[in-house]
Amino acid sequence: MIKVAAYIENTYPAFLEDDLNINTASLNLIPWSDWFRVWLEAMYPNIPSGNNYELTMRLTGDREIQAFNAQYRHKNQPTDVLAFAALETEVPQPANFNEPLYLGDIIISLDTATRQASDRKHSLTEELAWLATHGLLHLLGWDHPDELSLEKMLSQQAELLKIIAISEKI
């Protein structure tokens, strides 16, 4: 069985929660670590070797994600999800197989996720699951530079969401 330590950080400003009409504390009830573990197990052995993984996920707002997007992607606009893979070049093997393999960081804008969930007529949890799978696939080396790659990635996301019983209508 794969072990996953997912460190979830919520930096969304509390004073803006009313604008979103959500209680961000409720997002702590989402079983993120379980989801990431199940997703990684489903993709095994087509992921970097290991039985112990770590990643971080930061829930933030449009202002902060826009700053990251401008700094790292040179796009001065908010986006829904960013992923910073730790395995961008060669896959490093931990010295001790029990040491976790750090996959990287996922950043999700709650502002954008809330708008997208409303536009797509599904829950915020469904949208966040969709964005988390997208970010995870980027951490594992997936990319979508063309339409065919995007279709494959979206198909993999839909498969991962089925595993946790999240609708594939997303």
10 Å Cβ neighbour count for 30? 16
Structure-block tokens of residue 96: 């001790």
Q: What domains can you pick out in the chain, each with its CATH number?
A: 3-163 (3.40.390.30)
% of residues, the chain, pLDDT over 70: 89
pTM of the model: 0.90
Structure-block tokens of residue 11: 């930096």
pLDDT in tens, 111-148: 999 999 999 999 999 999 999 999 999 999 999 999 99
Task: Tell me which DSSP letter residue 21 carries.
Answer: T
Rounded distance between C-alpha atoms, residue 30 and residue 156, angstroms? 21
Rounded distance between C-alpha atoms, residue 118 and residue 110, angstroms? 12
pLDDT in tens, 69-104: 999 999 999 999 999 999 765 555 555 667 889 999
10 Å Cβ neighbour count for 45? 6
